[in-house]
Structure 1
Amino acid sequence: MAGRPKIFDEQEAIQKATEVFRNKGYDTASADELLNAMGIGKGSFYLAFKGGKQELYLRSIKQFAENFNLKMVQAIENSDDEIEFIRQFFLNLAHVKDCDAERGCYLGNALVQLSEKDQDIKKLTAELLKGLQKIFFETIKKAQEKGRLKTQESPEILACHLINLWNGIHVTRRMEHSPETLHSLIEMNLKILQ
């Protein structure tokens, strides 16, 4: 049948688009670059993403965050010491040269770059960050119950602090290029997790 849209795996196509957005940014990623990376034509694209590039970007952020949060939960569950895992997760952010998937930079950059330009992106990134905050909250609460944390600070406030730190790192990385300085700043902020 002529004109019939190509059938494709949407999650895989979104993952390929995510790589373009990560490398080029939302504003400079062209429709042609996205379509080429996704391996689909315009007809299939607009059938699947009626809101065009913005809908693709929103779905890209959502898919990335869901996968990232799932990996975080699994890594925490598989670690010998969940609080030390969180500490190392943050400390490693100081030494990451590129914005890699394992550190969640894509979501952090979306928050910094576009959340104030677009209310849908702002709402979505806030919602997705709440998911990461919940992971931190549950981990801290369990660690306190097991006696692995001395602090009596509320798990809600500690989880909020970690999200604030995570957001702050993504902003600070844009002006501070010394991994040693970043490492010291992060270490200072993590002293609360004792």
Structure 2
Amino acid sequence: MAGRPKIFNENQAIEKATEVFRNKGYDTASADELLTAMGIGKGSFYLAFKGGKQELYVKSIEQFSESFYKQLSEGIENAENEIEYIKQVFLSQAHSPDCEKERGCFLGNSLVQLSEKDMQIKKTSVKILKQLHHLFAKVIEKAQKNNQINTGENPEILAWHLTNLWNGIHITRRMENSSEILKSIIELNLKVLD
């Protein structure tokens, strides 16, 4: 017998689990907390996520990153000035709410906390960060061709710089409360796009 059919929205359940993972981290998020947040029982959980908590976490990272990437790429696509849009996305990180500062970047956290413990999580996180890198590289190369930025630096290296900044600023903002200091750090790093 294949089991009972699913009677819950998997994407919504994963979204609720993501909040638990973001608040508690992978290791300290208990099965009971996840099930309560998702609003499902153990039977439904293991029917949908045969790999248990680890599979749920990977799906959580994937769903979160797809949503983030879609929002970012659509924002870039609709922007009058793509480079300025990227700069504003970074600068907005200096003014994130306190809870966001404490939690850091979900993707960055997954890479740092679990990459050595679980190769599937590492592969998923790396794939997502490389996707972000490729998006940055494409925008930078286009801006160079259109003379929107002066730098002749390799777009791939500049894109890695931005990816590194994305990861770094989420760690730094967990230690530094001053929005002005964070803004200054980000502005300094973004000068490579002038």
Same fold (TM over 0.5): yes
Superposed CA deviations along residues 84-106 of structure 1, whole A, max 9, x for unmatched, are 11111111111112328xxx822
- The residue aligned with 2:145 is 145
- The residue aligned with 2:44 is 44
Q: 8 Å contact 2:105–2:167 — kept in the other structure?
A: no
Map 1:36-185 to 2 at 5 A: 36-97=36-97, 98-99=99-100, 105-185=105-185
Superposed CA deviations along residues 46-89 of structure 1, whole A, max 9, x for unmatched, are 11111111110111001111111111000011111110111111
TM-score (norm 2): 0.90
- Count how many residue pairs are aligned between Structure 1 and Structure 2: 189
Q: 8 Å contact 1:15–1:60 — kept in the other structure?
A: yes
Between the two proteins, what is the percent identity of the paired residues?
65
SS in 1 for 2:11: helix
1: CA distance, partners of 2:146 / 2:78: 16
Letter in 1 for 2:174: R
SS in 2 for 1:99: helix
Q: 8 Å contact 2:35–2:42 — kept in the other structure?
A: yes
TM-score (norm 1): 0.90
Q: 8 Å contact 2:134–2:159 — kept in the other structure?
A: yes
SS in 1 for 2:100: coil
Q: Which runs of 5+ in 1 are unaligned?
A: none
1:173 to 1:114, Cα distance in 2 relative to 1, 3 A: farther
Letter in 1 for 2:13: A
